[in-house]
Amino acid sequence: MRSHWITASAFAAAAHTALAAPQQLAFSAPSFSSLSRTSLDDALRSAWNGVQHSRPVGWAEEGVRKFTEVVDNAGSNFELIQHADFPLHSLRMKKPEGLCDSSSKSYSGYLDISDDAHLFYWFFESRSAHPEKDPLVLWLNGGPGCSSTTGLLFELGPCRIADGGKNTTYNPHSWTESANVIFLDSPVQVGYSYGGKTVSNSQDTAEDIYSFLQLFYEKFPKFRDVDFHISGESYAGTYLPNIASVIHRHNKNKPTPNSLDIPMKSVLIGNGLTNAYVQFASIPDWSCKPGGNPYHPIFSEQECRSIESKVPTCQRLVDYCYKAPSRFTCVPATLSCWQIAGPIQQSGLNPYDIRKKCDRSKDGDLCYKEMGWIETYMNDPEVRRQLGAAKDVTFASCNMQVNQAFQLNGDVSKNTAALIPPLLEDGIRFLIYAGSADFMCNSKGNYDWTIAMEWKHAAKYRKAKLVPFKSGKETAGHTQAVSPDGGAGLLRYLELDDAGHMVPFDQPERSLDFFTRWIRNEAFE
């Protein structure tokens, strides 16, 4: 759900070990190009049966293969969707009964990637009378290593966790009021997702998600012609530009003859980490200088001088990473830059919302007791059965081993912002929103990197002014945009008042308001 980073000392020890280890070989798959249709079918059946202990019941039309019934090794009944052009991927799907929100249809299951990676998803159709007319949104939480199910049950999903994890309550401000929303646990070993495949970079994550979407559209052709948006928070600021780039590239140059065009319209990033060079440098200004944040000084003068002194080294190492990205340039940059943020751990404040104290003995490691409630709920035997969870997987809100793997691969310090200009210039819209009380990916850093980005309309964006953002009749924050074609804007920055890292949790009504306006491409001012 959020950027819960390991401590500097633990990271340093792990980094030493990782840098001394040989690089892993890239995952490779056998080629099926020389197989006949019959042998390909046999190979797919054999691979599926060997891994999932399922029983196939017939093929569907040419190009798309659908088992109408599958029983996996946990005893769950699924529908299985496969595509001839993606022989190593399949989609298991079932309908949970009586979970979360009965006012909209939901589907859950797994994207199976070969035999060693299985990504869990939970999809909700919109609450409207005609969901097939509403946009489709993919939501990813950050971390890296945190489950998107926490975003579902804690922030913007149709229900919210309650009663210590015993129940959920109806969320009237769910984003499913305006859109069909897919919550996907990615990469492997996050949430209910499982398997032995090691994923420690955003590029591999993006390719897996592209395959998921191809299979999803085969199952739900009614959504092929509605606008598609990708959204998320925290480390999704790194995930999402990579995913958008992969989708955009594959839309232009189809990876297979039958690949579907994905009608991607925009990307929404909430309190994201996208440009390490700019964002880590913003920490002293946001934390220590007058007007940096609207609440109070976080650190003492001595602490402020200390963290400010660390910025030049952080930026120098990040610059090396940007120019020659590798584990050996980017891991030291990550280690150096997170030292700037180190004092927040000793401050007694919630780093995701500095308006609040954090007592980890009571609130949990992530400063929100609801994270423990979600784990209680998702590990309930009946919930697991309804969702079709793999029997040997224990749900955790965040997997810190995955988090560490991404950091020790240098993924954190790569220049993700550099992926965005080509997307903007081809008309893919970006909304960068941030809660004003978040320390981990603060609003100033998010604003600064949008200003620093060089692209076609950069001069016009910089000349634009921060103006009040109104939700209803109330001023809810400030926003700045460039809108060459009108509407909600091509690039828009939005700062939300009285919100931390999880804007939809802190400001549910205002969150639904700006989300709906954005996906409908309606004016903000």
Is 234 considered catalytic here? yes
Which one of the listed residues 72, 185, 204, 438 is annotated catalytic?
438
Q: Which residues, at least 6 apart from 407, have a Cβ–Cβ distance to it below 8 Å?
A: 5, 6, 11, 144, 331, 334
Note if the bond before 468 is cis, omega within 30 degrees. no
Cα-based torsion angle of the residue sequence 352, 204, 181, 160 in order, rounded to the nearest 10 degrees? -40
DSSP letters of 212-230? HHHHHHHH-GGGTTS-EEE
Q: Which residues, at least 6 apart from 420, have a Cβ–Cβ distance to it below 8 Å?
A: 241, 274, 430, 453, 455
Closest CA to 41 of 51, 56, 28: 56
Which one of the listed residues 443, 501, 506, 513 is annotated catalytic?
501
Please report how many Cα atoms fall inside a 13 Å half-sphere around the Cα of residue 20, on the Cβ side: 6
Please report how many Cα atoms fall inside a 13 Å half-sphere around the Cα of residue 150, on the Cβ side: 30
State how far Cα 209 lies from the chain centre.
Answer: 11
Is 438 considered catalytic here? yes
Please report how many Cα atoms fall inside a 13 Å half-sphere around the Cα of residue 481, on the Cβ side: 28
Which one of the listed residues 211, 231, 234, 266 is annotated catalytic?
234
Structure tokens at 241: 């530009």
Is 501 considered catalytic here? yes
Q: Are 507 and 476 in contact (CB under 8 A)?
A: yes
Give the residue numbers annotated as catalytic, written as ranges: 234, 438, 501
